[in-house]
Structure formats: structure tokens, C-alpha cells
Amino acid sequence: MWTPLFEKLRGEFVDIIEWLDDSRDTMVWRFPRHNNEIKMGARLVVRESQTAVFVNEGQLADVFGPGTYTLETQNMPILSTLKGWKHGFNSPFKAEVYFVTSRQFTDFKWGTKNPVMVRDPEFGPVRIRAFGMYSVRAVDPAKVLREAAGTDSQFRTEEIDSWLREKVVAAFAPAIASAGIPILDMAVHQDQIGERLRGKVAEQLADLGFDVPSFTISNISMPKEVEEALDKRTSMGMVGDLGAYTQYQAANALEESAQHGGGASEGLGLGAGMAMGNQMANSMNQQQQQQAQQPAAAPPPLPDAAEWYLGIGGQQAGPFDLAALRQKAGTGELTRETLAWKAGQDAWKPAGEIPDLASLFASMPPPLPPQ
């Protein structure tokens, strides 16, 4: 007789508060209390990557990180103050409990709907497009509830996805412009540009309680016509000698026409193509001949001769170049025994013992031996 009454009374109280998240896109989830009251002493289970926030009549109260808690007035000081509980009061209470996910949501994508105009030092104004992915994580549950989720019972990523995408696109153009990276080098510096964008977007999301742990640029592309022009420019650089290339193409066309038995009209067209190719080849050869006939650039001036100092009559004389030393050797003023020195030499040495000066005395007889 007492069993139905006991079950009825038990249904009016909540004993366990927890959230088993079976989705991959829920950022905030409200515990479905309905009209039930939370029993004082109930168990609160907050799993890893979760935060539990108690709200009383629209006011944020206590916040619990990962762990298992027994709800008492001692570990709910803010809620106890809002409800005017005294120490040791164990009556059931009503409050809204929100679970905020603190893990990373990595499925956010971004992309430029319209091309972004940037100024390149080599190509001038160029329109580019870009797309990639980024992750978002809640770091301040109170701000997330106040500024983003509100009273939504299940706040999903799709509710903030489009708003975040607009923020990323708005930050893309200033980040690209301030980076100062040429268009052709952007692929190498995608990580640097992505980090710059991550910081810009994280600053804007901080007021909502979110952070951007990672930001990836998958691709940066230019308009199709610009890419085709770059391909042609690359092909011309790979061709090299345009005259030889034209002759090679004409010879291949002649061989192909002979294999397929081309008629008179094809022969005329081929002849015109060969004539045009020969004309272009001749023009290229004339240019090369003109460049070859141009006088060669003058050689650079000879380096300065070494400067020598001599010890003559106990006095230092100089500096002298080799021509002056050769003249002094001819007059007998410079002999094999004359001390000589130049920069880089350890000490004064007789001129006849220095290899650079010994050649000056090759045509001169050595001194007579002593009598």
C-alpha cells in the first residue's frame, strides 16, 4: 500500500545530475529538471571536458569542474546566498543546471565567398580566394551562457557557425595585407598567415567565452585567368631558345602530316607554318648576332701593386712599387742586402731573401767574394 506513494514522492526529487553526451555538435545542454526539485545531498557528476553551471532565477550561481560532488550548502555558497539558506539547511531546491562542453569542436569550416583584393609587389592588384578549417572551445562558461547560449536548452554549433564564418572572412583581408607576403610565396607561409588569423578571430570570440585553439588554411588560389597567364609565363621560361623550339615544332608537324597523307591544302598550311617558323628563327639569330657583335665590357682595373718599404742609410724610405724598386736595383741603390718590408710580412728581411724581390737581381752579378 505504501509503495505507490513512496514512488510518487521519490519522483518529485532529482537524485543524480549528469549528462552523457551522445552528440558531436552540442556545446551547451540544460539538464531536464522540469517541475522536479533537486534533493539536497543529490549527486552531481561532471565528466572530463564538461563544466556544470547552476542558475537560480536567471542569475549565475555556482560552477563545478570535472568530478563527482554531493550537493550541500557547503559546496554551493553562491546558490545558498541567493536562496537565503542558513548553514545546515537540507530542504530540496529548484535551480537550472547547464552543462557546458569544454572540448574542441574541430568541424568549423571557412571560405571567402567573394575574392579578396590584395596588392602584390610583382603582379600589382590581384584577387585571391582561400578556405580552410578551425576549432573552437569554450573557456569561460559564464560568458558562454550570458552572451551566446542564453536560455537555449541545447545550444549547437550550427547556431554559431555562420556568424563565426563571417568573422573569419572579415579578418582574412587585413591579415593578408599586414603579412606583406608575395602571392607566389603564400603557399610556403600558410602556417604563418593561419596563426595571424587565429589570433584575430580569438580576440573577437573572447567576449563570448570562446577560444580558437587551431586555425588552418587549406588553400590560397588566384582567379583562373591569372593562373593561366602564370602557366604561360612558366612555359615560355622553360622553352628557352624560341627559334630552335619553333623549328622543332615545324619538323614534328611535317612528320605528322607525312604519316597521315595530308593533301595540298595541308601542305600549303604547313609551308606557311614553316616559313613563319623560319622567319622567327632568323629574327632570333639576328638578335643573337647583334648581341655578339657588341663590344665586350672593359675589364676591371688592375689591383693596386704591393707597397714596399726599404731601409736605406739607416732610414725608412717608401712606399715603392715594383717598377720603382727595379729602377733602384739598376742604379745600385737597392741591393740584395738592403732590408725590405711590406704589409703582412713578419719582419724586415734582406731583399735577396724575399721571393717577390729576388727576381729584381736575376740579371745582376752577385757581390765579389772577399779577398
79 burial via Cβ count (<10 Å: 0-12, 13-18, 19+): buried
Q: How far apart are CA 145 and CA 23, in angstroms?
A: 19
Regarding whether 222 and 111 lie in a shared domain, the answer is yes
54, 79 contact by CB (below 8 A): yes
Q: Which three cell numbers stand for residue 167?
A: 568573422
Residue 288 has pLDDT above 80, yes or no: no
Residue 294 belongs to a domain: no
Q: Could you list the residue range(s) of the whole structural domain that residue 181 is in? A: 105-226
* pLDDT tens-digit map of 19-47: 998 888 899 999 987 666 888 888 999 99
**Percentage, residues of the chain above pLDDT 70:** 73
| Average per-residue pLDDT for the chain | 78
pTM: 0.56
The CATH number of residue 324's host domain is 3.30.1490
Question: Vertex 339, ends 337 and 344: CA angle to 5°?
Answer: 135
Residue 145 belongs to a domain: yes
Regarding whether 319 and 250 lie in a shared domain, the answer is no
357, 325 contact by CB (below 8 A): yes
Residue 129 belongs to a domain: yes
Residue 167 has pLDDT above 70, yes or no: yes
Which pLDDT score is estimated for 274? Answer: 54
Residue 1 belongs to a domain: no
Give the count of domains, the chain. Answer: 4
Residue 212 belongs to a domain: yes
Max CA separation in the chain (angstroms): 154
Regarding whether 109 and 79 lie in a shared domain, the answer is no
Residue 275 belongs to a domain: yes
The predicted model gives 275-302 an average pLDDT of 60
